[in-house]
Amino acid sequence: MTVDQPAVLTLKNVATLVNRNTPNETKILKNLDLQVFPGDFITVIGSNGAGKSTLFNTISGDIVPDEGQVLLNGQDITHDSVEKRTKFLSRVFQDPKMGTAPRMTVAENLLLAVKRGQKRGLGLRHLHANKARFKMLAATMGNGLAERLDTPTENLSGGQRQTLSFLMATLNRPEILLLDEHTAALDPKTSAGLMEQTSKTVAEQQLTCLMITHHMEDALKYGNRLLVLHAGKITLDVRGEQKAQMTKEQIMQLFVD
């Protein structure tokens, strides 16, 4: 990644309001500016209410900003729908149940992911033809998912289900990957395993990724860039060697200050 390249994603002067035109009107994002460059792996931290989820919802299209613009490769996508953005964007949520269809099997969920962002029509699914590929992909996760391709997703463990959500999000290489505290609901061992796989996949596919986390250690260990949000503004944006030299104590002091 180099900042000499044009930004793949740009937020210009973005503001989002709640309780608009009432005495309780409040800005969540406060005229926020952000450029995300190809290959960036950005970890995002901030206290509760800092605007992290609002930032992701604005990028994904779930929230339309009240002010400012969202640009993809220089093109204005501010008012594009969530559905339209699935052509270039994938997201993994904190809740393992949110990224999968519970009554469909693992293989059927993966087949849905193959067709993400495409027009749907009537026709053969070609599920069997994809089974070998799906088994090989699932095996890379190292948690037994490859042996459960015919298992309904609702019968998986939380870790396996979140692993499946991550595979679905990266099966067709997205231009933007949003990881919304995707390990927060997992036990420490499962969380650590998924984070290692996340880092490996992001590097191998050269993904452009933003990841919200509450784990300071993960924020410092992973990625090339770190953002700190506070009260709807970016209060710290470091990358490369500057990020590598930061300590957990320095990050914590930002919250105290």
> Which residues of the chain carry a pLDDT beneath 70?
1-3, 117-126, 257
**pLDDT of 124:** 43
Residue whose structure tokens are 């900003």? 65
Question: What is the pTM assigned to this prediction?
Answer: 0.92
148 three-class SS: helix
Rounded CA-CA distance 233/46 in Å is 10
Dihedral (CA of 147, 152, 153, 159) sign: negative
- List the strands of the sheet with 32-36, edge to edge: 32-36, 9-15, 67-72, 75-76
Quickly list DSSP for 82-106: HHHHTTTEEEE-SSGGGGS-TTSBH
State the maximum Cα–Cα separation within the chain, in Å, rounded to a whole number: 59
Q: Which two tokens mark 45? A: 């931290």
Nearest C-alpha neighbor of 251 from the set 46, 33, 34: 46
Q: Contact at 8 Å (CB) between 154 and 100?
A: no
Topology (CATH level 3) of domain 1-88+174-257 = Rossmann fold (3.40.50)
Q: Contact at 8 Å (CB) between 94 and 184?
A: yes
Rounded CA-CA distance 73/136 in Å is 33
Q: Contact at 8 Å (CB) between 162 and 194?
A: yes
**pLDDT of 99:** 86
Provide the 8-state DSSP code for 232. T
Give the type of residue at 98.
M
φ/ψ bin of 12: left (φ > 0), alpha (ψ from -120 to 50), beta (otherwise): beta
Show the DSSP H helices in the chain as ranges. Answer: 52-60, 82-85, 106-114, 127-139, 158-170, 188-205, 216-221, 240-244, 248-256
Q: Which two tokens mark 50? A: 């800092």
Q: Which two tokens mark 97? A: 């149940």
Q: Contact at 8 Å (CB) between 183 and 194?
A: yes
